[in-house]
Structure 1
């Protein structure tokens, strides 16, 4: 019985509201217009394209205008099917909004417009439309293949079309996203007009996961050139393996996760064939290789010619530099440099090295009389550039002091 009055009050209030009709207030309801649900603003705003019409030219900006006097546009959100927001500007008077960046090609946009009428009541209108597909597409192919790699492995991107303009390069670079867990800072470097390399400031963290994706699909790069979709890539990073070969001491030191686990007597390139100094990233492993001097420009029948079966060969340059078994030079290993540029060791040591090294691990040569390893063109010499020089190869970071520019900050969120 004690609950009857409360029940009667609620029922009475409900009947009163129903009798007063929509929009009436009773029982303390707030009559502030901002508390109302948004009204349909279809009669309040207009677009320069129509919902359901044929696909529109992505080179044409999107415009939203206010119809009639009174009220204003408060907010416009235009998002494509990939979740990318279209940037735009609202006029000071709130009667016009216009996109400030190019629309993506071949995608569907959903546009939501918020308004206020003369009383301040909120309105809303949502509209969808599609843009015409691009006639000329730029594709990006990521490398290496999915798998487990060492801490020095760069990520590569091969483009289908050359991109020379700096502004266009910034558009491409901003859309090629590399993320690692745990996080590490890194950057792309434009090797040439069609090839980019990405590496972190320091080596990848051991046991990290690296994910690579493209947000280029539909994005305008230059006049009539738009980005295409790309197959994402995921890499797993193994132990931190670092190898240092001291050509003067004739010794190779193998470190795993910061600890020395093996030292191996070696021989490196003799005078005239001295091994290249610098950092090299392991390109692959071959159990057997037939090494012929003619492949490196040494004529047959000369004193330096050779044709040898080689086992347990770990490749570090495309031109033919390996770390491999060299049983014919065991007497010189640890004492003298007698090879034609490769790092030679006993068969047992080469077998151990072969089993413990992997693609992407870092091999550094010091104290050799040879030239410095080229950063590009003969394998992955990316680590021979310090971070300052590496940043100079980026269309986003070049010239910045702290390694982060406004454009780089923008790449943290996909945006056309």
Structure 2
């Protein structure tokens, strides 16, 4: 272990140790210190390896300790050249600070140490060191979703991992490095949908006309003995108006709200007995002007009284298993009075055209008072908003009770219902 000792004339000293490294002090000419805090530039000594170019082992922790007995540490800041801070803990008596988050490999770190002597005089020291390259480890790559663009306020942020992460401590390392920031700011949390997928959402929907940015600080961070973080392309999306389509299956009515103001009532038909529309909050997944809907894709045999093969227009998709809001000119006589569909929400062609042009991916369709089952949380679209917030945060690896259970709802990717 190599160390850097910083002392002041009165006898108190600081020991700054990057385990397995030789730290390099900033020169006096480049030292950005105020005139009043004392500096120990003339009292620096090194122990341990002195070879030129020696670098720290990124798998070892960083420590800052005091020596001499009459001084204490008041603050330590460690940050790499990309702006990633190292988390740490300071002992109550100010005698020791140690890092609690891993260092990155192939990184350049700057340590800023603040001290105080018995008389309350402040001391300052700035040190730098480099960490070694990663050795023989796999990289965990992250892909954020959706694609960059403008979405409705219900659009979750997703993070897809190219390798599974099962261990809770390893998940915590990954999750702490995945950042989502919004303007205006809102409270949010990641939820581990599976070993390879996370979703991020706020407690409530995103604000209208917000900017949401996701990025990863995981590059070269140790996750396990055989895995480090890889690069990840950052993501930036914006939100549009707050649009919610409230579908009352019992009243056969869809009411559209824009920024909490009702703008249109539309007579509809939803799923008939045996094909009831799912209850719950759904996020618009896609819009398709034309879809050829076939009953065989949802398990209805050809020749059955319920079979169909229809061209459908103005189709707004809300589940991967084939639930849409779409034009249904064949059921206009039942719209507003009866439920006769195979699970989709049908409306007249003029109303479907209006709805199609007004709605956007990420907007919300909420179904109430249907006899159908509840919307799946995952795997059949985005049912994320149906999970209560207190349960959602338990799906985080850095909260208490973080063993989130993945909903076992496997959905087919291509079927459609009418």
Same fold judged by TM-score > 0.5? yes
The alignment partner of 1:314 has SS state of: strand
The alignment partner of 1:353 has SS state of: helix
After superposition, the C-alpha distances for 1:24-69 in whole angstroms (9 at most, x for unaligned) are: xxxxxxxxxx95863524x6343656574254431233467899x8
1:49–1:294: structure 2 CA closer, same or farther, 3 Å change rule? farther
Larger radius of gyration: 1
1:115–1:46: structure 2 CA closer, same or farther, 3 Å change rule? farther
Query: Are 2:134 and 1:128 aligned?
Result: no
- Residue in 2 that maps onto 1:7: none
- Residue in 1 that maps onto 2:246: 244
User: Which of the residues 272, 292, 295 maps onto 2:294?
Assistant: 292
The structure that is helix-richer by fraction is 1
Aligned pairs for 1:270-281 (under 5 A) are 270-281=272-283
RMSD between aligned residues:
3.1
- Residue in 2 that maps onto 1:29: none
- In the aligned structure 2, how far is the partner of 1:121 from the partner of 1:192? 49
- Residue in 1 that maps onto 2:203: 201
**Greater alpha carbon shift after TM alignment, 375-384 vs 158-167:** 158-167
Alpha-carbon contact 1:51-1:129 (below 8 Å) kept: no
1:128–1:293: structure 2 CA closer, same or farther, 3 Å change rule? same
TM-score by length of 1: 0.79
The alignment partner of 1:191 has SS state of: strand
The alignment partner of 2:194 has SS state of: coil
The alignment partner of 2:301 has SS state of: coil
The alignment partner of 2:385 has SS state of: helix
Query: Are 2:266 and 1:264 aligned?
Result: yes
- Residue in 2 that maps onto 1:86: 86
Query: Are 2:369 and 1:367 aligned?
Result: yes
- Residue in 1 that maps onto 2:385: 383
**Greater alpha carbon shift after TM alignment, 124-133 vs 383-392:** 124-133
- Residue in 2 that maps onto 1:160: 162
After superposition, the C-alpha distances for 1:274-301 in whole angstroms (9 at most, x for unaligned) are: 1111110000100000101111111111
Alpha-carbon contact 1:40-1:123 (below 8 Å) kept: no
The alignment partner of 1:336 has SS state of: coil
Gaps of 5+ in 2: 1-34, 403-418
Query: Are 2:179 and 1:177 aligned?
Result: yes
User: Which of the residues 324, 327, 348 maps onto 1:325?
Assistant: 327
- In the aligned structure 2, how far is the partner of 1:383 from the partner of 1:139? 27
1:316–1:123: structure 2 CA closer, same or farther, 3 Å change rule? closer
- Residue in 2 that maps onto 1:334: 336
Aligned pairs for 1:18-57 (under 5 A) are 38-41=39-42, 44-46=44-46, 50=50, 52-57=52-57
- In the aligned structure 1, how far is the partner of 2:79 from the partner of 2:51? 15
Aligned pairs for 1:59-70 (under 5 A) are 59-62=59-62
- In the aligned structure 2, how far is the partner of 1:122 from the partner of 1:113? 8
The alignment partner of 2:85 has SS state of: coil
- In the aligned structure 2, how far is the partner of 1:66 from the partner of 1:256? 60
Alpha-carbon contact 1:47-1:65 (below 8 Å) kept: no
**Greater alpha carbon shift after TM alignment, 43-52 vs 148-157:** 43-52
The alignment partner of 1:339 has SS state of: coil
Alpha-carbon contact 2:56-2:129 (below 8 Å) kept: no
Q: How far does residue 79 in structure 1 lie from its aligned partner after superposition?
A: 2.5
Gaps of 5+ in 1: 1-33, 401-416
1:82–1:73: structure 2 CA closer, same or farther, 3 Å change rule? farther
User: Which of the residues 207, 210, 213 maps onto 2:212?
Assistant: 210
